[in-house]
Structure 1
């Protein structure tokens, strides 16, 4: 659906161009989630929004979306493996939320 599309390749390039955000210290608010917790939460929120906005999706299409999203989260875990268990900084939070929105946009376009 989207993993084999040019848009996903561009999204991965966008991530690689912003890896420095995950290599430098920053402001961490008290009670901040870990990087992987935030990734999972915001991606899940975007998938829920996607399914709510496209309520005519079949069960098979929703399952395909979930499988591809699992692949995207796996890719993120691989790329960010050295920081997934660290508390997310405010700068990282902003990037992850933007990235999740871009993932949703890819699926919106595919649907």
Structure 2
């Protein structure tokens, strides 16, 4: 659906271009989740939005979206493996929110 498309390659390139955000210290708000907790939460919220907004999706298509999202989260875990258990900084939080929105856009375009 999206993992084998140019848009996903562009998304991973965008991530690699912004890896410096995950290498430098920054402001951490009290009670901030870890990087991985936030990634999982943001991606899950966007998957739910996709399914709510595209009511015409079949069970098979929804399952395919979930499988591909699992692959995306796995890729993020691999790229960010050294910092996934650290509390997320304010800048990282903003990036992860944006990244999750871009993932949603990929799927929105694929199902339209």
TM bin (shorter chain) = over 0.9
State the superposition RMSD in angstroms: 0.2
Matched with 1:20 is 20
Deviation at 1:15, TM superposition (A): 0.1
Instruction: Name the CA distance, whole Å, in 2 between partners of 1:43 and 1:16.
Output: 18
Q: What is the TM-score when the length of structure 2 is the normalising length?
A: 0.99
Matched ranges for 1:42-57 at <5 A: 42-57=42-57
1:53-75 per-residue CA deviation (whole Å, 9 max, x = no partner) reads 00110000000000000000000
**Deviations 1:42-91, CA, capped at 9 Å, x for gaps:** 00000000000001100000000000000000000000000000000000
- Give me the whole-angstrom Cα distance separating, in 1, the residues matched to 2:84 and 2:2: 24
Relative to the length of structure 1, the TM-score reads: 1.00
* TM superposition shift of 1:18: 0.1
Moved over 4 A (4+): none
- Which residue number corresponds to residue 105 of structure 2? 105
The aligned residue for residue 88 of structure 2 is 88
**Alpha-carbon distance between aligned partners in 2 of 1:27 and 1:82, rounded to the nearest angstrom:** 19
Once residues 23 and 82 of structure 1 are traced to their aligned partners in structure 2, the CA distance between those partners, rounded to angstroms, is 10
